[in-house]
Structures are given as C-alpha cells and as structure tokens.
Amino acid sequence: MGAPSKSWRALAGFLGVAAGVALLFTLVAMVALRPKDGLAWVWVPDLGADLRVDAGLQTKPLKDTVVAAVLQDRALEGTTASGLSVAPALAVTPQPAVAIKTSPAARPVTTPAPSQPGPTATPDPGPGPTPTPTAAPTPTPTPAPTPTPSPAPTPVPTPSPTPAPTPTPQFAIKWAGELVTKSKNGNGARCAQSTVTAVGGFTTNGVGGTVSYQWVRVDNQGNRTNGASGTTQVAAGDSNLHQVTSDIFTPVHSGSDQLVFLSPAYSVPAQSWNCVG
C-alpha cells in the first residue's frame, strides 16, 4: 500500500512542475508578443518560392525581420524581375491579410519601380533659315565731366624778422694830444729860472657826455705830482676839437708831463723837459 501512494505523489508533482513551466512560458510569450503601438494590416507577398511554404496554410504572423528582409529583396530586385517559379494554384489565390507588429519607424514601404518608357525617335527638322545678323547700335559717347578747378592756395606771408636794435655806441674819446714847452726867465738855464707850459686837446665820437682829465708830472728823481685838472661837457653830435686847461709850473728838476683822461679813459704819450736843478 505504501509503494503505489509514493508513485502517485511523484506523478502529481511532475505534472505540477510541468504545468508551472508551461504557464511560465505562456506568460513570457504573451509579454513578448504584446503589441506596443497597435497592429498594422499588410499584404504578405507570396513566400512559397522563397520559404517553401504555402501562403494559404499560414496560421500565425511571421517575424518582423523576415518580412522586412523579403520586402527589401523584392524592392531591390524589382516587382517584375523574379527568377522563381510560382505554382498556378498559388498564383491565383488571393493573399490573406496578416497582422504584423512593427514599430512606426521600422515599417517597410515598398517603392514602386518607375516606369521606363522606351526612347522616342525625334525627327530631324533639317536646316532652318539662316538668321540675318542685326548690327549692334553705335554707343553714344558720354562727355567727360569738366573737372572743378581747385583754387590756388594763398601763400602764407612770411613774417619779416624784427631787426635787432642798433646798440647805442658808448661815449669815447676819438683823439687826444699834448705839447710841453719850456721858457727861460733871465740869462741862466737853471730850473728855477724856467717855466714849463703843457697844453692839450681832444675830440669825441659825437655821442655826447662828460670828459674829465688830469695832468701828471714825474721828475727825474721819481717824484710824482698832479698838475692841473678839469671837466668838459660835450654835447651829442659834437665832434669838434676841445682844449683842456693848460698845466703851467716852475720845475725843480728835469722830468715829463702827461695828459691823462679819467673818463672816458684815454692816455696821451708824455712829453719831457730838461733843466739844471
């Protein structure tokens, strides 16, 4: 009694596992074959010659890749070009509509082959009349525009340079001279009996100014003595000879007398006298 119950249990377990596996495969197939964007009804071409199946005996949809590949081959080969034989019974049988699940972008579109008409012979019209050449009209020359004369530029006057002011010449003595003479008093030739007289004069450059002068005596003993002196006012433009005050004295020894101008500075060579001291 124990052995048959164990076999029934084993058979029931096997059947349960088989049913579970079948149910699992059914669910997987339903999920995989569930359409996502609806069904599209297309006419399936006669695939009997290519796939060796009868189109009338087809009971389930073909794979999308198979249908797309067949349609692409037929589009490349042309609708009329076919080297496969089709059974007469299958040729007249209308093709059933088959629902194929395809995405919108992957749905094949069969482009009909453009009709190619044969060449049409074009009749030769023959040589036509020679057109008479028309002479081109002579272009009218356009007169050149008269250029607008440009005004001559006015030269900029060069400014005259300002002359440098002429410097005013300084007041100066132009010439001076003197004359020394000795006169004897009585019959002796001694110095105490002599009289020395020195006279002189000068001229200027005419500018005008004041002239001051001095007589300077130097005897042979080395003694220096200042003689007569004076000042003379010279007007502008006056270039005449002017006399100076004469130097008159009685010498003690022989010596010389010289006219010295203090302003403007000027010197006259000295003249000497001789006597017995």
* Structure confidence by residue, pLDDT tens digits, 164-202: 777 878 999 999 999 999 987 755 578 988 999 999 999
What does the pLDDT average to over 245-254? 95
CA distances from 140 to 36, 137, 143, 147 (A): 81, 9, 9, 21
What pLDDT score was predicted for residue 212? 97
Give the per-residue pLDDT at 277.
75
Residue 275 reports pLDDT greater than 70: yes
Q: pLDDT tens digits for 52-108?
A: 555 454 445 667 787 778 777 777 776 544 444 444 443 444 454 444 454 544 455
Nearest Cα residue to 208 out of 240, 230, 177: 240
More confident residue, 41 or 205: 205
Gyration radius of the chain's alpha carbons: 80
pLDDT digits (tens, 9 = 90+) for 101-159: 545 444 555 555 555 544 454 545 555 556 565 666 676 767 676 767 677 767 777 77
Distance CA 93, CA 83 (A): 20
Q: What is the pLDDT of residue 128?
A: 55
Output the CA angle 123-125-128, nearest 5 degrees. Answer: 170
Note the helical H segments in 126-276: none
Q: Where is average pLDDT lowest: 28-32, 86-90, 175-179, 217-221? A: 86-90
Beta strands (DSSP E) in 205-273 are: 209-219, 224-234, 242-243, 247-249, 255-263, 266-267, 271-273
Q: What's the whole-model pTM score?
A: 0.42
- The whole-angstrom separation of Cα 204 and Cα 79 is 144
**Number of residues written out for the chain:** 277
